[in-house]
Structure 1
Amino acid sequence: MTTLPLAEVKARLSAVLDELGLTHERVVITRNGRPEAVLLSLDDLESIEETIDVLATPGLRDQLDAAAAEIERGDWISAEELAQRHRGPR
């Protein structure tokens, strides 16, 4: 995690945002030497929010774990096979 003073963030905001998009590293913004805020990419925020939603939805974590176990056992079909099943016989 990078720490930058507010004055530097103001002066280099465009470059800081470019770097966030590339590195996904959070930036702690300080004011008068004290941590005041955190800047993170929109992708990272959406990922955090999605994780919170998954953890907060009863039963969803169990469904994801069950699906992962099925995949690990090889109990899955390809997208092509799924599409073919839905098209039916020709």
Structure 2
Amino acid sequence: MMTLSIAEARATFSKIVDAAETTHERFDVTRNGRRAAVLLGADDYDALMETLAILGDSALVATIGAGLAELDAGETVGIVEVENAMRRAGRLRE
């Protein structure tokens, strides 16, 4: 993460927006030497908001944990079993 003053950010705004978008770099922007804002790319912001939404849903977090425990225990099915289940459910077309 790079730290810039407001003046530096203003002078190079187009460049730092490009960098945030293409390299996923984040920029701390300071005012009077204190951190005032953070600039990050829109995709990174969206991913952060999605992660917060998931972590804020305790039922979903529990479901993910249960799924990871099943993986650790080797409780998995292969593609053939998935295809057969989808055929039985009428969800797979030949």
Shorter chain as denominator, the TM-score bin is 0.7 to 0.9
Which amino acid in structure 2 is aligned with residue 75 of structure 1? T
Structure 1 position 71, deviation (Å): 4.1
Q: Is the 8 A contact 1:70 1:76 kept in 2?
A: no
The residue number in structure 1 matching 2:16 is 16
Size of the aligned set, in residue pairs, is 88
Structure 1 position 69, deviation (Å): 3.4
Provide the alpha-carbon RMSD of the alignment: 2.6
Runs of 4+ in 1 over 3 A off after TM superposition: 69-72, 81-84
TM-aligned CA distance change 1:76 to 1:24, over 3 Å: farther
The residue number in structure 2 matching 1:32 is 32
Which amino acid in structure 1 is aligned with residue 30 of structure 2? T
1:87 aligns with one of 83, 89, 92: 92
TM-aligned CA distance change 1:63 to 1:57, over 3 Å: same
Q: Deviations over 1:2-25 (max 9, x none)?
A: 101111211111110111123322
TM-score, normalisation: structure 2: 0.72
Give percent identity, aligned residues only.
36
TM-aligned CA distance change 1:8 to 1:82, over 3 Å: farther
Q: Deviations over 1:62-83 (max 9, x none)?
A: 11122233445261444xx549
Which amino acid in structure 2 is aligned with residue 36 of structure 1? A
Unaligned runs of 5+ in 2: none
TM-score, normalisation: structure 1: 0.74
